[in-house]
Amino acid sequence: MATTADYKLGPQTYPRGWFMIGESETLSTTPKAIRFFGRDMVIYRGHSGRVVLLDAYCPHMGTHLAKNTTSWVIRDGKHVEGDSIRCPYHAWRFGPDGKADEIPYIQGSIPKAACVRSWTVTERYGCLWTWNDPENGPPDYELPEIADWEDPSWVHWKIDDLGTLPCHPQELVDNIADLTHLAPIHGSRVDYFENEFEGHIAMQRQGGGHRTLSGADFSTDTWYTGPGILQSKLKGSYNSRMLICHTPVDDGTTHAWHALMVQSASGKPATDADIAAARGFQAAALAAFAQDFEVWGTKRAALSILQVRGDGPFDKARIWYKQFYNPRAGAKAIQDRVRGIHTIPGMPGAPQTAAAE
């Protein structure tokens, strides 16, 4: 499998940004073992309702904080106390800040080294999110808003957990600029297509027909907010908003999720019939995404693309993506190389863009 170094993305193995790491409804006071960015972690919901994300291994003797079922710490219900977690081996307890707040068999102060890394974590829209930064800096952009989430005419999504792909996320990000896969993979008729890059946002605008989605005609505005969160606003037979997230597990493997929220046909609060229709349309959207997913899971790495006239601006998208693998101090210089709207010879740009010019 190809790695970040193979793609020559930058000095940092994992990208800077906000990433999805799971679903809210799967989280409880029973700690879960997860792995992202090449690190083992433990995530749980404290008794206050707070979500806590920590590195997984106790600094005492390297015990995994989540992977135990037989310790009396677990059996006595002391694994999570308040918002803190106990190591199942020697019962050291760590607070949500990662610092040990109790070592039951010592007197005096707790060593400063008795700590694990605590990660920035939040939950929103039924998802769990964390901020990753190899430079250990605070977020330099906000977690994106999901428009219409509070509007009762919109049916909330059920998240499709698609598991792990044996490929680098670069292969998924290429899709934002890929005009010519739309017809052979999705049966699309493309009437217009363009990309725009601005800061940490990469936008795709396109419209036409889509055979997988029941042959419907629609327009889409699709955009990445950072390297791993993609939204798509679809207007057509149903007004809907798609979410596709992907997060590095290890260098060269990626975990992906899909979700779709749909507005009721009447624009009024959603009924049971609207919910059923939304679930059907989400299934169709998932089938469309699965067409891409199958290719990504079986292709060899495209370390360089034999780009030809008529392709989308793969080269621009790959430059944009590099900003997240380089120190943030150099991000603007990378953004400036691709900033603006990019169209494709022989393909009209988006009509709303042309009207605005």
Of the two residues 356 and 255, the one the predictor is more confident about is 255
Mean pLDDT of the chain: 95
pLDDT for res 210: 75
Q: 195-243, pLDDT tens digit by residue? A: 999 999 999 999 987 776 765 677 899 999 999 999 999 887 789 999 9
Of the two residues 188 and 140, the one the predictor is more confident about is 140
Q: Taking a C-beta distance cutoff of 8 angstroms, is the pair 131, 60 a contact?
A: no
Q: Taking a C-beta distance cutoff of 8 angstroms, is the pair 312, 304 a contact?
A: no
Residue found under tokens 């992907």 = 246
Spell out the residues 6+ positions from residue 215 whose beta carbon is closer than 8 angstroms to its own.
209
**Rounded Cα–Cα distance for residues 154 and 270 (Å):** 6
Q: 5-9+12-132: CATH homologous superfamily?
A: Rieske [2Fe-2S] iron-sulphur domain (2.102.10.10)
Nearest to 259 by CA among 142, 141, 154: 154
16 pLDDT higher than 70? yes
**Rounded Cα–Cα distance for residues 4 and 238 (Å):** 38
Q: 154-356: CATH homologous superfamily?
A: Naphthalene 1,2-dioxygenase Alpha Subunit; Chain A, domain 1 (3.90.380.10)
pLDDT for res 215: 58
**Rounded Cα–Cα distance for residues 208 and 348 (Å):** 12
Q: What are phi and psi of 314, to 5 degrees?
A: -55, -40
Report CA Rg, the chain.
22
pLDDT for res 292: 95
**CATH 2.102.10.10 placement within the chain:** 5-9+12-132
**Rounded Cα–Cα distance for residues 152 and 158 (Å):** 16
Q: 339-353, pLDDT tens digit by residue? A: 999 999 999 999 976
**CATH 3.90.380.10 placement within the chain:** 154-356
**Rounded Cα–Cα distance for residues 191 and 202 (Å):** 20
**Rounded Cα–Cα distance for residues 48 and 37 (Å):** 28
Q: 57-98, pLDDT tens digit by residue? A: 999 999 999 999 999 999 999 999 999 999 999 999 999 999
**Rounded Cα–Cα distance for residues 271 and 262 (Å):** 12
Q: Supply the pTM of this predicted model.
A: 0.95
Q: What percent of the chain has pLDDT over 70?
A: 97
